[in-house]
């Protein structure tokens, strides 16, 4: 029986494990064609593009997280908790660190998990470019814990302001978001709404129009620099209409406690500072097991998604530097770190593993760019539809863009659960939303 090990239970990794388990896994005492093992350091999965909603409090994590143990049981694969810390290519083993609880008690020891085919799907982290103070004083949105931590700090800041008798200091109730890509812009829009929702629940000493402030900071000349200029302009106008401060052409030189300092020696006071700029793969991937990596720690892969130095190791998603020959008007580039890419690559790798089992040649992966969408909460959604979807490029805004944005998440849910469960879960959320606060208050 072939042993398939998938490291990372993000969008691509969990979809691939689910599909392989459904097709080849053991069930009801009958052995399957494959032994599929998923390794992740978390107990539950959440779709990463939803983290800003958890942070802002507009989405309850408990309604959307997927329990790895249950998913593995229902879809006939094995889940092992722990963080990958090493790779022994000669012995074909993944080394997993001991897993400890919040008190430091060891739950599982360090162990090695053997593989015949290894799939790396570890995702990405924000890149602070060694900016002083970011590690110590800035919050990030890289995981569920990060999102929950930000939400708790935001709520505490509002409650603190409500309880104090003296005037607010310049930094109080001010959130500074460094990086105006999709994550930064989406978080700013959601925060504008949810902070006002929180205040509306009897916190009458906080003036939402005067006291609550959100700033988005971008070093480039415009926000959403990866999207067409027209969309950037439209988004900036919407943010400013909400009251979000948009700061462009400002490079952050240093982060202090409750202060952002720029390279021109000006500064911005802020009680909560979020770093949402730049992307890189985790540092431990750098040259791991002698595999080829690039300057941001991504594993360099061939068009087949095999790593350049080991045909038995594949990589996908944000941790893979996958060639995209059609990018930049045919000049070439790499597949961008987007959820749609991870979804496509999971489907492609499912077919690749089928070909390996049948001893047939592997096929190259071709990225299909369907465009980008940025949600501004209940206010609007903007984006562009491209490529094979419409045969060109089309700027979209408003209700249609919102529906397209929601459909991306539904595609992910369908890949994990199927129509029946997704339909029931969606109906349940619609019902409970009518009986609960529209913002998470704890």
Question: Is 167 found in the same domain as 75?
Answer: no
Mean pLDDT value across residues 100-125: 95
User: What is residue 390's predicted lDDT score, i.e. its pLDDT?
Assistant: 38
User: CA-CA distance, 180 to 256, in Å (whole number)?
Assistant: 20
Do 269 and 140 have their domain in common? yes
Query: Of 257, 278, 299, at which residue does a domain stop?
Result: 278
Q: Which of 305, 328, 357 is the last residue of a domain?
A: 357
CATH number at residue 244: 3.50.50.100
Which DSSP helix (H) or strand (E) runs through 269? strand 267-269
- Cα separation, 334 vs 203, in Å, equals 48
Q: How far apart are CA 380 and CA 235, in angstroms?
A: 9
Both 32 and 95 in one domain: the answer is yes
For residue 72, is it within any domain?
yes
Q: In total, how many domains does the chain have?
A: 3
Residues 244 and 376 occupy one common structural domain: no
Residues 25 and 82 both lie in one domain: yes
Residue range 381-409: mean pLDDT, rounded: 63
CATH number of the domain enclosing 329: 3.50.50.60
pLDDT averaged over the chain?
Answer: 90
Are residues 139 and 271 both part of a single domain?
yes
Based on the fold, state whether residues 395 and 274 are members of the same structural domain: no
273 and 171 in a single domain? The answer is: yes
Domain boundary, last residue among 357, 386, 412: 357
Residues 285 and 212 in one domain: no
Helix H or strand E encompassing 152: helix 144-163
Bigger pLDDT: 433 vs 14:
14
SS3 100: strand
Mean pLDDT confidence for 412-436: 87
**pLDDT, position 378:** 67
Verify that 259 and 377 share a domain, yes or no: no
Is the pLDDT at 437 greater than 90? The verdict is: no
326: confidence class by pLDDT, cuts 50, 70, 90: confident
129 domain residue, yes or no: no
- Asked, for residue 116, whether it belongs to a domain, the answer is yes
Across 217-226, 228-237, 432-441, the highest mean pLDDT is recorded for 217-226
Show the domain range for 319.
2-124+281-357
pLDDT above 90 for 401: no
What percentage of the chain carries pLDDT values higher than 70? 94
| 143 and 273 in a common domain | yes
Helix, strand or coil, per DSSP, at residue 45: strand
Q: What is the pLDDT of residue 158?
A: 95
Does the pLDDT at position 113 exceed 80?
yes
């Amino acid at each position: 029986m072939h042993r398939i090990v998938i490291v990372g239970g993000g969008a691509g990794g969990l979809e691939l494990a689910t599909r392989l388990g459904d097709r080849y896994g053991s069930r009801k005492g009958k052995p399957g064609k494959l032994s599929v093992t998923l390794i992740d350091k978390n107990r539950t999965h959440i779709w990463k593009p939803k983290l800003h909603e958890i942070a802002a409090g507009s989405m309850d994590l408990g309604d959307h997280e997927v329990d790895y143990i249950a998913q593995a049981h229902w879809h006939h694969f094995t889940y092992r908790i722990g963080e990958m810390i090493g790779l022994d290519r000669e012995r074909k083993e993944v080394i997993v660190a001991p897993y400890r609880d919040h008190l430091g008690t060891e739950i599982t020891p360090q162990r090695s998990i053997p593989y015949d085919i290894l799939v790396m799907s570890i995702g990405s982290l924000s890149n602070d470019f060694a900016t002083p103070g970011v590690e110590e004083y800035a919050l990030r949105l890289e995981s569920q814990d990060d999102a929950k931590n930000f939400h708790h700090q935001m709520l505490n800041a509002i409650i603190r302001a409500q309880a104090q008798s003296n005037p607010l200091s310049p930094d109080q109730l001010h959130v500074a978001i460094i990086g105006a890509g999709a994550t930064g812009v989406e978080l700013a829009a959601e925060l504008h709404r949810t902070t006002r929702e929180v205040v509306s629940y009897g916190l009458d000493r906080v003036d939402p129009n005067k006291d609550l402030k959100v700033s988005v900071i971008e070093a480039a000349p415009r926000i959403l620099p990866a999207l067409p200029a027209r969309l950037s302009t439209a988004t900036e106008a919407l943010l400013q209409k909400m009251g979000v401060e948009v700061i462009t052409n400002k490079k952050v030189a240093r982060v202090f406690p409750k202060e952002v300092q720029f390279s021109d020696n000006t500064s911005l006071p802020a009680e909560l500072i979020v770093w949402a700029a730049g992307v890189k793969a985790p540092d431990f991937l750098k040259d791991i097991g002698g595999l080829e990596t690039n300057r941001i720690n991504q594993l360099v892969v061939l068009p087949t998604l095999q790593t350049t130095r080991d045909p038995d190791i594949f990589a996908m998603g944000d941790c893979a530097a996958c060639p995209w020959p059609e990018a930049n008007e045919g000049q070439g580039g790499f597949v961008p770190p987007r959820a749609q890419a991870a979804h496509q690559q999971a489907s492609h790798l499912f077919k690749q593993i089928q070909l390996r089992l049948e001893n047939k040649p592997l096929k190259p992966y071709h990225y299909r760019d369907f465009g980008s969408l940025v949600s501004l909460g209940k206010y609007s959604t903007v984006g562009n539809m491209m490529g094979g979807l419409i045969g060109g490029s089309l700027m979209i805004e408003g209700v249609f863009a919102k529906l397209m944005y929601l459909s991306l998440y539904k595609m992910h849910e369908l890949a994990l659960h199927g129509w029946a469960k997704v339909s029931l879960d969606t109906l349940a959320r619609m019902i409970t939303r009518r009986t609960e606060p529209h913002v998470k208050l704890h």
